Amino acid sequence: MKKTGLLILIAILLSLSPMRADEGMWLLPLIEKLNMKKMSELGLKLTAKEIYDINNTSLKDAIVHFGGGCTGEIISGEGLVLTNHHCGYGNIQRLSTVENDYLRDGFWAMSRAQELPAAGLSVTFLESFTEVTKELEKAAKNAKTDSERQQAIKNVTDELIQKAVGDNKYLTARVASMYGGNAQYLVVSKVFNDVRLVGAPPSSIGKFGADTDNWMWPRHTGDFSIFRVYADKDNNPAAYSADNKPYIPKKHLTISLKGVEQNDFAMILGYPGRTSRFMTSSEVKETSEINNAITIYARGIRQDVLMEDMIADPKIRLQYSSKYASSSNFWKKAMGMNETFAKLNVQERRAEEERAFTEWVNKDKKRIEKYGKALEYINTSVAQRAEILYLLKYLQETLMNIELTTVANHYAPVANALSKGDKDEAMKAAKGLEGRINTFFVNYSEPTDRKVAKALIKVYRDKVKATEWPSFFAELDSKFGGDVDAFVDDMFNRTIFSSKEKINKALAAAPEVILSDPALEVGKSIFVLMPKLQAAAGAANANYSLGQKAYIAGQLEMKKGEAMYPDANSTMRLTYGQVLNYSPKDAVLYEHVTTLTGVMEKEDPNNWEFVVPEKLKQLYKAKDYGQYAMANGELPVAFLTNNDITGGNSGSPVLNAKGELIGCAFDGNWEAMSGDIIFEPTLQRCINVDIRYVLFIVEKYGNAKHLIDEMTIVK
């Protein structure tokens, strides 16, 4: 198959006219050509350059990639960052202790000195976003082999990055692929590594409703947290130092207290992680029956074990809160995806699109030459990788979630050096692990992990055929008669890797003991499978990328004139639409806003997910809402828009027609959980915490009015 030419692709993209205002994760450099007409019709008062401009200050300068997996926004001239509570959750947990439990009680810094350094957390600002497809295609044009082509592209990529970054040590750059490899963009960024926790509500507000309400509307969660970016004396990125000063941003968002009404214009800037809107029917089936099914089953079992111990012991609750939350979020999403795949007939709808595509291709010899093998390549790869993916997914969701064997496996290089008689090299390797090991054991419960190991080994044994078992199963059967509980107890009882004290004592006294450590042997037998399965998956996917690239290129050509945007890939995007209610089923209408009254209606003091703090109840009874109340006297909590978002958009700013901050995006809705694969315009909604509820909690609940005073607020 021939590659789609650059000129053809550009001609197609520039001809596109958005079909629906509520769908699309749009590239910032193209919004003036593709989106501004429709956005203005919906009510936008800004110009394209006020949103994105690489030469002058624009809205994009107030948006950050928060921690690599979420979005945040600058809300003061002194570097305050607003994001979701669940985005800051891991950092809040790591800063907590049993005595100072900021997850349970919340945290509010009453001075700059009280702001807590969040080790390992960074925020990234976008500097520029430039298409470089032409340069890379030109580099690969004369290559005779695939390896020559890859090397030529690498050479030009390195040159582009070097030219963009130059001698500026504060900049980073990468090339991001779009449209299945049919377009390439150079993304230049600036990363700040001194980020400090400033404020967070207790989980009874920031995580109100927990798993039960996750992905659901109506929603009553105050899902926000506040951090601050620090810089050196010259306002440049710097490692943490007590001498650093709050970062002075190029741009910070103005906050509007006007509120939202049905049909108001709303847009979101953020960093959506991954979508698969060009996914084929065979891939939908694979996602449902392998990826999601295994996730739902295995995580459900592990989470039950974790939750039982978390409820029983406050220390374990603190240690495992972040681990549980990161697992349960996609676990419930996977359930929702499978439910909506079936309800909305997603697989058959994709199959119908493929039939139309094939019919279109077959009408023209040139199209057959370019796109005729696309679906064959994709479907063949999907079929060939099915068993491999099944094995890989069960390995990842079960055996690789045993913490003991994972931490033991970190010491494989130490054991390797000892087996060669090189004690100095072994001790050097062990020394290099100290920081990671110290951090690991802060949030580790040996009794909990022991229970998890027993449960997950049984799952793996039941679901994976014996020919694919790791080698430790031979000992489990021969020495323990297949008794998993006895095998696990023996391993945990004899290992040195269940605490850092045991590890340090062994390394100091007799390091050779790790050569026969049972947890290390089991860990090695587990993790040796990963590269083998990955290699097998790579072989099965040999032609997948070629097929996907051709299929997407063909879709672009076939649907010329329709709304076409690249899949999300953690680059900054814009989505626009309206504040909008929806009807999930016959005779049911969900309004676009929720209030504090709904929090009180959901209160259940016997269910940790729905406990309401006493102070919040007192504020509610007194109707002490200040300037944050709606015209009817109620306090808003959350609202809906039809903006097109996905994971990674968590924490994104929701902006009104003037570009003012009105909310913070934090979730999608249950009825459209297939949204990463196919957009459902009548059902798909973005759930946002109202900025008035955020500020109310900061000022009235957290007594942190000094933070409000930093912000630029308009009524």
Contact call for residues 584 and 683 (beta carbons, < 8 A): yes
Return the SS3 of 404: helix
The one catalytic residue in 61, 101, 223, 264 is 223
Q: Dump the DSSP string for 84-138.
A: -HHHHHHHHHHH--SSS-HHHH-EE-SSGGGPEE-TT--EEEEEEEEE-HHHHHH
Nearest to 689 by CA among 612, 627, 599, 620: 599
Rg of the chain's alpha carbons, rounded to an integer? 27
Where does 481-622 have alpha helices with state H?
A: 484-494, 500-509, 518-527, 529-540, 544-558, 596-602, 614-622
What is the rounded (10 degree) CA torsion for 399, 400, 401, 404? 90
Q: What is the DSSP letter of 579?
A: B
Other Cβ atoms less than 10 A from the Cβ of 189: the count is 19
Cα 27 → chain centroid? 19
The Cα diameter of the chain in Å comes to: 78
Nearest to 65 by CA among 151, 176, 192: 192
Torsion sign (Cα): 311, 315, 321, 323: negative
Q: What is the DSSP letter of 25?
A: -
Where does 623-681 have alpha helices with state H?
A: none
The one catalytic residue in 61, 65, 76, 86 is 86
What whole-number distance in Å separates Cα of residue 59 and Cα of residue 65? Answer: 14
Residue 474 makes CB contacts below 8 A (sequence gap 6+) with none
The one catalytic residue in 204, 256, 650, 674 is 650
Structure tokens at 632: 């009817």
Contact call for residues 635 and 600 (beta carbons, < 8 A): no
Task: State the Cα angle at 692 between 336 and 25, rounded to 5°.
Answer: 45
Residue 61 makes CB contacts below 8 A (sequence gap 6+) with 125, 126, 249, 250, 251
Return the SS3 of 314: helix
264 is catalytic: no
Q: How far is CA 346 from CA 280, 611, 673, in A?
A: 10, 38, 11
17 is catalytic: no
650 is catalytic: yes
What whole-number distance in Å separates Cα of residue 558 and Cα of residue 367? Answer: 10
Q: What is the DSSP letter of 257?
A: -
What is the rounded (10 degree) CA torsion for 351, 357, 359, 363? -170
Structure tokens at 304: 């039950």
Any idea which residues carry the catalytic annotation?
Answer: 86, 223, 650
